[in-house]
């Protein structure tokens, strides 16, 4: 199963909104086949695993044990059901990392295998297999994206200088890392004030890979069109009260009421099939996510060498648990997960 996770990771950057999945076929203590889900819309891990078996080893497939990090699917999606493929190949033993929470599957794959007389052992390295697809699991079990809060602060805990002026806190290496983070998430959100004052482009020009969908609440549509977020270089969603309209890759998403804005934004992300969201500021927006207990991970970049003495205070966190620290020259990056949310 550890090997399956390694294999799954090879596809991780290309499969969203699908999960990353790895599979291995083991006969007599020897791996005779390996495969993973390479890219969205393409063959699933099990298909690639079985077709990787060498001609001379194909005779051993029925007697081999199939290891797969996620329950084999039971539905016709872009590809036919993997559980049927397993059955067709006469495999008698299947070891599964975790169940697939997607409603079309959710236990039905296991059921199909068992009905065909296959011995199924599920839940091997379950936590690790769920963690591997934390965005996919959060999306399908909570019907909202996986939420990552991110900000940079000075050594004395300020995120902006004196008169709220934009302050460049993190160093060039960390900035590049942040662009990698952006390429890993489906969407990126900033508040109206941040879009106006900082005029960020919210792209990943310092890193390869997919650009996130940019999202900005601009409730009464007062943001000027000359801002970077309107440059049409990336898909962009503007949450507002006035109109629902698509204009090229710019989508105006109408919210229905003034209460529970974040909840409405999360529901919209669910409808738009956005599995994750990186919230990059400002303080007020991030603080409202914290206050509503609506987050999964927080990444705080602290420039240990920069002290301003005055300015805007960083958000105040609650319910957090440190799980990783990284040091990049002047910057320390602390990664937190939400204590209660990640306990289940």
- Please report, as ranges, the residues that interact with ligand AOF according to CB under 6 A: 18-19, 21, 37, 44-46, 70, 72-73, 77-79, 82, 100, 102, 105
Q: Is 259 a catalytic residue?
A: no
Minimum CB–partner distance for residue 256 and ligand AOF (Å): 28
Question: How many whole angstroms separate alpha carbon 58 and alpha carbon 252?
Answer: 54
Minimum CB–partner distance for residue 49 and Zn ion (Å): 11
* 112, 91 Cβ separation under 8 angstroms: no
- Residues found near Zn ion in the complex (CB under 5 A): 44, 73, 82
Q: In sequence order, what are the residues at sequence separation of 6 or more whose Cβ sits closer than 8 angstroms to the Cβ of residue 107?
A: 71, 99
Shorter beta-carbon distance to Zn ion: residue 8 or 73: 73
* 72, 81 Cβ separation under 8 angstroms: yes
Marked catalytic residue, from 46, 71, 185, 280: 46
Question: How many whole angstroms separate alpha carbon 109 and alpha carbon 324?
Answer: 35
Minimum CB–partner distance for residue 31 and ligand AOF (Å): 17
Shorter beta-carbon distance to ligand AOF: residue 100 or 185: 100
Owner of token pair 């409405």: 264
Q: In 3-state terms, what secondary structure has residue 143?
A: coil
- Following DSSP, what letter does each residue of 31-86 receive, concatenated? EEEEEE--STTS--HHHHHHHTS-GGGGGGGGGSEEEEEEPPP-S-SSS--HHHHH
Question: How many whole angstroms separate alpha carbon 198 and alpha carbon 166?
Answer: 6
Shorter beta-carbon distance to Zn ion: residue 49 or 82: 82
Minimum CB–partner distance for residue 14 and ligand AOF (Å): 11
| 152, interface contact from Zn ion, ligand AOF, none, CB < 5-8 Å by kind | none
Shorter beta-carbon distance to ligand AOF: residue 100 or 296: 100
- The CB-nearest residue to ligand AOF is 77
| 90, interface contact from Zn ion, ligand AOF, none, CB < 5-8 Å by kind | none
Residues annotated as catalytic are 46
């Amino acid at each position: 199963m550890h090997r399956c996770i390694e294999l799954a990771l090879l596809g991780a950057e290309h499969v969203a909104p699908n999960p990353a999945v790895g599979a291995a076929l083991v006969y007599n203590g020897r791996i005779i086949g390996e495969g993973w889900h390479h890219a969205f819309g393409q063959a699933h891990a099990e298909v690639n695993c079985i077709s990787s078996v060498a001609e001379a080893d194909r005779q051993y497939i029925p007697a081999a044990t199939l290891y797969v990090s996620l329950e084999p699917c039971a539905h016709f999606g872009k590809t036919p059901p993997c559980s049927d493929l397993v059955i067709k190949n006469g495999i008698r033993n299947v070891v599964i990392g975790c169940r697939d929470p997607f409603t079309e599957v959710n236990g039905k794959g296991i059921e199909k295998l068992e009905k065909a007389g296959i011995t199924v052992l599920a839940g091997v390295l379950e936590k690790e297999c769920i963690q591997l697809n934390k965005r996919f699991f959060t999306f399908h079990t909570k019907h909202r994206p996986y939420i990552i809060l991110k900000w940079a602060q000075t050594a004395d805990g300020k995120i902006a200088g004196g008169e709220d002026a934009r302050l460049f806190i993190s160093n060039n290496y960390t900035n590049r890392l942040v662009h990698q983070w952006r390429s890993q998430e489906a969407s990126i959100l900033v508040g109206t004030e941040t879009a106006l004052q900082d005029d960020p482009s919210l792209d990943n020009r310092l890193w390869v890979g997919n650009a996130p969908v940019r999202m900005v609440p601009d409730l009464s549509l007062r943001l000027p069109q000359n801002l970077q977020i309107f440059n049409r270089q990336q898909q962009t969603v503007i949450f507002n009260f006035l109109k629902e309209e698509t204009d090229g890759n710019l989508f105006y998403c109408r919210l229905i009421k003034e209460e529970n804005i974040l909840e409405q934004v999360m529901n919209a992300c669910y409808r738009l099939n956005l599995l994750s969201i990186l919230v990059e500021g400002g303080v007020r927006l991030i603080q409202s996510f914290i206050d509503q207990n609506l987050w999964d991970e927080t990444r705080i970049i602290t420039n240990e060498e920069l002290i301003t003495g005055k300015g805007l205070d960083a958000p105040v966190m609650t319910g957090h648990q440190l799980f990783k620290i990284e040091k990049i020259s002047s910057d320390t990056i602390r990664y937190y997960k939400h204590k209660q949310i990640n306990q289940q």
